[in-house]
Structure 1
């Protein structure tokens, strides 16, 4: 499945602007840089909210779900970008199916991507559609397995669809960071920071889902569990951050930084994770 999406990023300077104390909380669907000061909290441990999906859906259902999440992310980032009067960058996505794949990326570090390749990817130099620099690759069978708690071959403690949502948002976060780097001529974060800042941007997107009213009970816990499942357990050539680091990055984007940035402020991500290994 091939499509192209415009995407935009909230930027004012390299450290992105968040809301101010006392800012009014937006109504669902009205997502601005001022998302209010109420902290969005994860349900207490042991609350055992209902799971959002115990059955593994069919491939067409997964494709539709992933496309919907990409479009939601597109709306959020495009609105932020347009509000600041910046040129609208664009990203393509490829949902890799048994019928459509495999794909070879122009990023030399990426493998040939099949429908069941155990990872999702972003390459800022792939142009799957003319004029759309940057491509997100989502292997459909790999994403489908997340409903059963299989996160890139590791088992999450929670089942549910929101694992696929947050990892899709993570790949979208890579594009957001890549475009910020291009627009402001700043070197990209390196090492684990490239991954952690994208986890944080996924948390920003999750805040918008909360305020829109589209997040179901237990969804955010699924997201946290998914990132914890795939955290680094040893020093690797391409580090992503430990389970704790990945969870904290997601929470930084989702909750903001108390007394500094409100929930969903990308500034919390750039200030905390725009670093170099």
Structure 2
């Protein structure tokens, strides 16, 4: 992936080195790493939000959110990389929204290590990168990229960019009002129906990541040979069926929350091939 020398976003909040690396704080208490591990396993096996599990294990008290101090991000290569990818998503989605007569409000990217307060509860690196609509921020512990290599055997800068673009895709859904509508329906649905809606939401974010890649490549020629293949490998590695098979040796489709490997690959491919937001309507698709 060609990114060196491109614009870097200043819309980054670097919380690394601010502590909170050992436990998971909820409601003024603290949860051990063992408890966090239970929550992560529950999320993989049963499609439960890890933050919800941790809240229940912490006595059901809401997380106490405090505003973390912000300071300029470090100047290491990985930080420069994610700042550049974020800037590229900003430029792409600003233009796409403008073409529809809309205003794109940029999300903030928060770099953290261990755990960090968010408007959605305390975030933990064990849950992986995530987007919080409550504060319109994307959160990532950059050690996740090492996990991609070690656990999923996925490497390559474009695969890493895909992960970030997927979370920005959730921000796009929030701005378009899609995620709010889905959340309203999910609250009235059974667990199986709720999981099915979650799958469609996640697959659309994959498609939006592909839309970004299409336009970014047209405008800035970022793709090199093999880049798309690495992103597709990443999408395949984190499919619900692949994760469940790795974790427990069997697959439970009704508990899927993100989609199968084949589905994730299919929708990212649709986005990158068409470059059209309208092509990402997973909610009306008969076949995912």
- Fold match, TM over 0.5? yes
TM-score normalised by length of structure 1: 0.62
Distance 1:250 1:198, change over 3 A: same
Structure 2 equivalent of residue 94 of structure 1? 110
Structure 2 residue ranges without an equivalent (≥5): 1-8, 13-73, 186-196, 242-250
Alpha-carbon distance in structure 1 between the residues aligned to 2:182 and 2:86: 26
Structure 1 equivalent of residue 116 of structure 2? 103
User: Where does 1:115-264 land on structure 2 (aligned, <5 Å)?
Assistant: 117=126, 119-125=128-134, 127=135, 134-146=136-148, 149-150=149-150, 153-156=151-154, 159-181=155-177, 186-187=181-182, 190-211=197-218, 212-233=220-241, 234-235=251-252, 237=255, 239-255=257-273, 263-264=274-275
Q: Which has the higher helix share?
A: 2
Distance 1:182 1:199, change over 3 A: closer
Partner SS state of residue 170, structure 1: helix
Structure 2 equivalent of residue 39 of structure 1? none
Aligned pair count reads: 195
Structure 1 residue ranges without an equivalent (≥5): 6-57, 128-133, 256-262
Retained in 1: the 8 A contact 2:108–2:138?
yes
Retained in 2: the 8 A contact 1:118–1:142?
no
Q: For the aligned residues, what is the CA RMSD? A: 3.0
Alpha-carbon distance in structure 2 between the residues aligned to 1:200 and 1:182: 14
- The CA deviation string for residues 192-233 of structure 1, in whole angstroms up to 9 with x for no partner, is 011100000001011123322111111110000001011111
Distance 1:59 1:231, change over 3 A: farther
Structure 1 equivalent of residue 22 of structure 2? none
1:75 aligns with 2:91: yes
Retained in 2: the 8 A contact 1:106–1:123?
yes
Q: Which has the higher contact order (CA 8 A, sep 6+)?
A: 1
- For the pair shown, the structure with the greater C-alpha radius of gyration is 2
Alpha-carbon distance in structure 2 between the residues aligned to 1:209 and 1:194: 23
